[in-house]
Structure 1
Amino acid sequence: MSRSFPLSDAADLPRWRRPMTLLFVMAALMPVAFSTWSALLNNFVIEVADFDGQDIGILHFVREIPGFLAIGVIAIIIFIREQVVGIVSLILLGVATALTGFFPSLGGILTLTMLSSIGFHYYETVNQSLQLQWLPKDRAPQILGRLLAMGSAATAVAYVLIVMTWRTYDLSYSTVYMVAGGVTAAGGLFCLIAYPVFESPHPQVKKMVLKRRYWLYYALQFMAGARRQIFMVFAGFMMVEKFGYEVHQLTLLFLINLAANMVLAPVFGHVVARFGERRTLMFEYTGLIGVFLAYGGVYYFGWGVLVAAGLYVVDHIFFALALALKTYFQKISDPQDIAPTAAVAFTINHIAAVGLPPVLGFMWMISPVSVFVTAAVMAGVSLVLAVLIPRHPEKGNETVLSKYISAPAG
């Protein structure tokens, strides 16, 4: 990898070698492997490995363990620069995804899921930290929206190729996984060689940071991790188990999600900048309550596949508004706290994520409706927490209660 380079001098580099460009390149590379893995997963494990609801719960339990251990990034960045850790993690994600189709057994799938998850979660932890360090606060919401749109566009290309070629060329799972993972791994290797290591103007604290004044951010992260499992694990599983979606059909549904994100994600960035994190997150959580209750209605009242598919798309769109949580933390944090707090937040986010999938998998076997009602309750708790975000969050004004509670700055 090239020598270290001060972030303040990055404007002197060719545009393609600047830190902003690197963020966009990584934003495009990661979803190629991860989204392809996700798109094929439900059909792969049901058709090839004969998974049931409990097996899929165990799989996602294993997948979330590295997220729970994301705090380990703090120890790694003592010896290795954050940027290097992020790119190497991206390569690991690609390699593990490429090998997934060659091990169609419970043990093989769980092992490669663990490896790819280490790559994904450590990449995401570091990437979030780099975004908040490198992006100016006044433009962060808009740029985060564009980064989200870039990831959606890259995933859309992968999904279009799957839809167009899966049945036409009778592709195998191993072929698609190998190509998608290979693209991500090769792109990560390019980033490792082509870009200098950018030095942040604010050296990061290389120890665990837990501050009382960040408590609301921690609470929102915890609830986000718990709520996310319903969408990640069971919404897609429902489309395959209940409605018999095939790979190309489920991928087409994902593609609709991506098209919506490509159009709306930049708009969401402007929405956060215009209306603030408080109103944006309240709107998201209110919408998710309705979506999750409607998912339950699909099972209880027998609503059709079109209603379920529509809910899936709306669900995905609402989750894109979560970029407001990133900018909320950027506004209230000390600049040197970003890297360690990103790691701590990822761990907090995954506390419930590790424990919930097996429990929800068992609930799913008894009553799928109860899973979605539980998710609606979780979204309701998040809504209550979002009400506590100030209109103009900043250091010293982290919650609407800050002016009533005298707490130490650290």
Structure 2
Amino acid sequence: MIQTRDSLAPSPFSFLALATIVMAMTFSAWNALLNNFAVEQAAFNGAHIGMLQSLREVPGFLAFTAVFILLVLKEQSFALISLCLLCIGVTLTGFFPTVYGLYATTVLMSVGFHYFETLNQSLSLQWFNKEEAPEKLGQLMSIKSIASLLTFALIWIAFTWFNLGYVWTYAIFGIAGMLLTTYMALSYPQFTQHATQHKKLILRKKYSLYYVLTFFSGARRQIFMVFAGFLMVEKFGFDVAQITALYMLNHVINIFVAPRIGKMISRIGERKTLSIEYIGLILVFVGYALVESPVFAAALYLIDHLFFAMAIALKTYFQKIAQPEDIAATAGVSFTINHIAAVVIPASFGIVWLYDQSLVFYFGAALALCSLLLSQFVSTDKQPVELVKGV
């Protein structure tokens, strides 16, 4: 369970817990309302929504630039500024119900979101020691799920009981996030970082296995994010209520499972955990390719989302092999590597989808198989495997 003792005191854990709540609350509100708002208020068509999603991923691809901003800002302060940008973007969304207005607010929101996610990974790996990191990261994932679940419930109440509309709903969640961020800025001291971080791009050959596994992880995630939900709607006719129910059930499961996955990583290690994840994902993607039952498809969707919690093991693997001063710079680089596929897969695989839906998921299974083979080289007990030449 989540340790309330850590949550109440002004500690690094409670700072990250509050920051996670702000991120989950604001982004979940933006995402839950996006498709309906885009169609009903901004008159979006398929081309518009495709362009918006591509624009949303560009800041993730540029996450490596965070290291240059750290030349003038401390990571903790930069994280708070990033949350402010996220909250402002969400707050303004409802006030600009046009194609270009939604493009602009989405980019603003996404800059804050992706910079915060980069810094969140960096700070958590610096503030938590190697023994406690898996459990702490699992607890933070559970907190994220609780915040997202409550957000979905409040949105349902806002539209069903109070008929608030998009402007007020976006504004309420954005302003609430801004108030929490302001509280954090005023109430929390600057926490000590045990190693001074490099303020330049870092690419080391000893991290090459981590880089490649991160790339494959990003590619698989795009297939899940873009095409798994679309399969539910196009092939099996799931409506908005059913898709939302799947989202909520995913978060309910994560609340209880994510902390246990963190404990499992501490017990059996990163290599075994990653192997379990990748074997499971191979079976899930093959299942997507062959499924003909909506109930089985929904079960695959829930299992697929559950395996993402095991990705904690990739973060803790990096923590154990990294030089302490490399963490911030490498967090930005790895986030960029993770998003390379986000620029390519949605558009290119969308064309493949028109030809044969199952090929998209078979490719996802192939990516998971590559990850499984590479994960057998994961070791935290000796010098990490170097897959490529580097600096």
TM-score for both structures, normalised by structure 1 = 0.87
Instruction: Tell me if structure 2 keeps the 8 A contact 1:61–1:355.
Output: no
370, 376, 388: which one aligns with 2:359: 370
CA gap 1:14/1:117 in 2 versus in 1, 3 angstroms:
closer
The residue type equivalent to 1:94 in the other structure is C
The answer to whether structure 1 residue 37 and structure 2 residue 30 are counterparts is yes
The structure 2 residue matched to 1:279, chosen from 262, 272, 278, is: 272
Give the alignment partner of residue 384 of structure 1, picking from 365, 373, 376. Answer: 373
- Aligned equivalents of 1:14 and 1:294: distance in 2? 40
The equivalences for 1:50-69 within 5 A come to 51=44, 55-69=48-62
Q: Is the 1:281–1:383 Cα contact (8 Å) retained in structure 2?
A: yes
Contact 1:54 1:365 in 2 (8 A): no
The 1:285/1:21 distance shift into structure 2, 3 A limit, reads same
| Structure 1 gap ranges (5+) | 1-12
- Residue 151 of structure 1 is aligned with which of 144, 156, 162? 144
What's the CA shift for 1:254?
Answer: 1.1
What is the CA-CA distance between 1:235 and the residue it aligns to? 2.3
Q: Report the counterpart of residue 303 of structure 1 in structure 2.
A: 293
Residue from 372, 383, 386 that aligns with 1:397: 383
Task: Provide the rounded CA distance (Å) in 2 between the counterparts of 1:219 and 1:234.
Answer: 23
Instruction: Name the % identity.
Output: 44
Residue 146 of structure 1 aligns to a residue whose secondary structure is helix
Alignment of 1:11-410 (within 5 A): 16-49=9-42, 51=44, 55-298=48-291, 302-304=292-294, 306-390=295-379, 393-394=380-381, 396-399=382-385
Deviation for aligned residue 1:267: 0.3
- Aligned-partner Cα distance in 2 for 1:368–1:293: 12
1:67–1:346: 8 Å Cα contact kept in structure 2?
yes
C-alpha deviations, 1:21-68, integer Å up to 9, x for none?
101111211100112222233444455556565544332221111111
Does the aligned pair in 2 maintain the 1:56–1:233 contact within 8 Å? no
Task: Report the Cα distance in structure 1 between the residues aligned to 2:254 and 2:191, rounded to whole angstroms.
Answer: 29
TM-score under structure 2 length normalisation: 0.91
**C-alpha distance in 1 between matches for 2:111 and 2:37:** 21
User: What residue number does 1:10 align with?
Assistant: none
TM-aligned CA deviation for residue 183 of structure 1: 1.9
Relative distance call for 1:56 and 1:235 in structure 2 (3 A) is farther
Amino acid paired to 1:126: L
Q: Residue 166 of structure 1 aligns to a residue in which SS?
A: helix
Q: 1:316 to 1:16 in 2, by over 3 A?
A: same
Q: Report the count of equivalent residues.
A: 386
What do you get for the CA RMSD once the two structures are aligned?
2.4
Q: 1:261 to 1:31 in 2, by over 3 A?
A: same
Is there any run of 5+ residues in structure 2 with no aligned partner, and where? 1-5
Per the alignment, do residues 172 and 375 of structure 1 end up closer, same or farther by CA in structure 2, a change over 3 Å counting?
A: farther
> What is the alpha-carbon distance in structure 2 between the residues aligned to residue 160 and residue 406 of structure 1?
47
Q: CA deviation at 1:367?
A: 3.6
Letter in 1 for 2:358: V
Tell me: CA distance 1:167–1:293, structure 2 relative to 1, closer, same or farther (3 Å).
Answer: farther
TM-fit CA distance, 1:331: 0.3
Change (3 A) 1:322 1:170: same
- Over 3 Å counting, the alpha-carbon distance change for 1:407 and 1:226 in structure 2 is closer
Describe the superposition over 1:349-381 as per-residue Cα deviations: whole angstroms up to 9, x where unpaired.
111212222222333344433322222222222
Task: Say which is worse superposed, 138-147 or 43-52, in terms of deviation.
Answer: 43-52
**Aligned 8 A contact 2:20 2:143 in 1:** yes
Q: Return the alpha-carbon distance in structure 2 between the equivalents of residues 259 and 202 of structure 1.
A: 37
